[in-house]
Structure 1
């Protein structure tokens, strides 16, 4: 993942492109009530990961993107996790319907990923590295020349981990972050005031505290650092462009999370106005 870290063009350019798309969507609202912020953010998060892994992004109204997001929702929604059923076999019976939906979703995602891996192997050019899969194929070739063995399933597992951290977890953290911002506008104002590079540590610290309070980071995985970078860039950029606030100053916000694989929120409303 080092070659795709922030500061090197592929990741940062992908994130900035998604920021622009989300900003355009928010501008179109013209300060009107927003009830689907989570959906907007999950499209952006999913596209960042998709572009990083597969080398291209979807338009936000593309049906394939909607299908991927629906599949991810099936995998990561509902109580507990797939690994929990392995630790406590009784859960296989108690949550059998939910687990069935998840396993079906995981099967769909695996087929989608495997299709792209096959296409990448067929079109692979070591002189033209397009994305994460190509980087893996380079490493695979180098290991083969050293007579080492790379486990084929490792690539599939890594991609699923990246999708998990960079899509569902990141979008959920965005949802919590904007909820906290409209509840505490003074913090939001300070983050904007200190948005130059000398004071970005305040934004980072605020995001870390939101994640701690909201319990939106349930595990450590290869996509965690990517998710943090994505979260920081999108969140700080949007706060700099828009003022987020309650639709009605008397709105009462709920901070009671719904525990699934991450801790998600009940729907809430807000508005975004250009600064």
Structure 2
């Protein structure tokens, strides 16, 4: 067995040596913790290195930015230089480089520019969307009232997910769904499970391992297999909705999908065209992922803080009753007359940490941040 042991030791030393030579910290990178061979800093904490430091995730060096002043200097002063997204193995498997969230360059600019136009046309960020929101919260209130008289507590998570998802449905699909609708519940379950699983996977470093060793992790049983299954399910449901829309002329422009199908026809044959059905599926998916979970989680934080601080809840209710009363719905015009309620909502958003990590950024040119030299690589914004 001695020759085998010697060969094994030689192989290990050789791999570690090659890894060290090949993956040394690049010149000009901020300081950071010592990286383990092969796996890098996947299991490291780096608080003592301040607000700008570098980590090695698998075979890639990453710069971490943390703190208001540093982020302001990066995103405000040099926003164009950090606008791109890294193409990691997991993001490629998830969206094939398509969609709105994980794309860069021409495809991102073209898709983002288009997405803003129909969404604003159908009321996004405008007063015209207010009736849709108020109507949806009427259904939400009815759902909550159905638990009245029961002695058992209930979890509002699914109901708040239904509310936010349905508002997005009105923009994307042109209609809302009943909360009992099987197709709606199935799609919502897939989307929500994807987000929850992603959070768990991040905590367990599964996603980092996937990006560091994609060939191995694609065939290793774990959370990434669950993600792949959920992604396939969501895409299938969105594709069904698109096929239903295609049965009716997209020139009617009832919603985002109609506008996108019309854009596909208008851009056929153009050299710089990025509009096709596969991109449409990923864009729709991104709109749900970006909008539904963040809003519903903020609502649940609001419920939690109102329960924990009943004296604050009483003041908010008293102000609402004094300004709006019980005979009508609130509107955005009431906001100026509800300073205390507005302040409470802002404080909830400040305290409720719904997105602990930003989407990773990728520098498209060397940048200089916080007097620590120039670098160019993936940048995580904390």
TM-score over 0.5 (shorter chain): yes
- Counterpart of 1:75 in structure 2 is 194
- Candidates 166, 184, 187, aligned match of 1:65: 184
Q: How does 1:1-275 map to 2 (within 5 A)?
A: 1-3=119-121, 4-9=123-128, 11-30=129-148, 32=150, 33-78=152-197, 79-80=200-201, 84-89=208-213, 92=217, 96-126=221-251, 128-144=252-268, 148-152=272-276, 153-195=278-320, 196-200=334-338, 202-217=340-355, 218-219=357-358
Q: Which has the higher helix share?
A: 1
CA distance in 2 between counterparts of 1:13 and 1:36 reads 26
CA distance in 2 between counterparts of 1:122 and 1:31 reads 46
SS at the partner of 2:201?
coil
Deviations 1:36-64 (CA, angstroms, capped at 9, x unpaired)? 21122112222222232112222112222
Residue 121 to residue 204, structure 1, CA distance change in 2 (3 Å): farther
Q: How many residues align?
A: 219
Residue 100 to residue 25, structure 1, CA distance change in 2 (3 Å): same
CA distance in 1 between counterparts of 2:268 and 2:339 reads 43
Residue 184 to residue 28, structure 1, CA distance change in 2 (3 Å): same
Equivalent residues of 1:18, 1:47 under 8 A apart: yes
Comparing both chains, which one has the higher relative contact order based on Cα–Cα distances under 8 Å and sequence gaps of 6 or more?
Answer: 1
Measured after TM superposition, the shift of residue 194 of structure 1 is 4.2
Equivalent residues of 1:41, 1:171 under 8 A apart: yes
- Counterpart of 1:238 in structure 2 is none
Measured after TM superposition, the shift of residue 31 of structure 1 is 6.2
Q: Which structure 2 segments of 5+ residues have no match?
A: 1-118, 321-333, 361-382
Deviations 1:131-163 (CA, angstroms, capped at 9, x unpaired)? 111122344444459775133243222211111
Equivalent residues of 2:190, 2:234 under 8 A apart: yes
SS at the partner of 1:101?
helix
CA distance in 2 between counterparts of 1:211 and 1:88 reads 34
TM-score (norm. length: structure 1): 0.66
Equivalent residues of 1:55, 1:130 under 8 A apart: yes
Deviations 1:44-100 (CA, angstroms, capped at 9, x unpaired)? 222222232112222112222221122123312231358645544389489842211
Deviations 1:97-143 (CA, angstroms, capped at 9, x unpaired)? 221111101111111112222332342241x2211111223444444
CA distance in 1 between counterparts of 2:317 and 2:269 reads 51
Equivalent residues of 2:136, 2:163 under 8 A apart: yes
Residue 8 to residue 156, structure 1, CA distance change in 2 (3 Å): farther
CA distance in 2 between counterparts of 1:118 and 1:47 reads 20
CA distance in 1 between counterparts of 2:130 and 2:269 reads 32
Rg bigger for which structure? 2
Equivalent residues of 2:335, 2:342 under 8 A apart: no
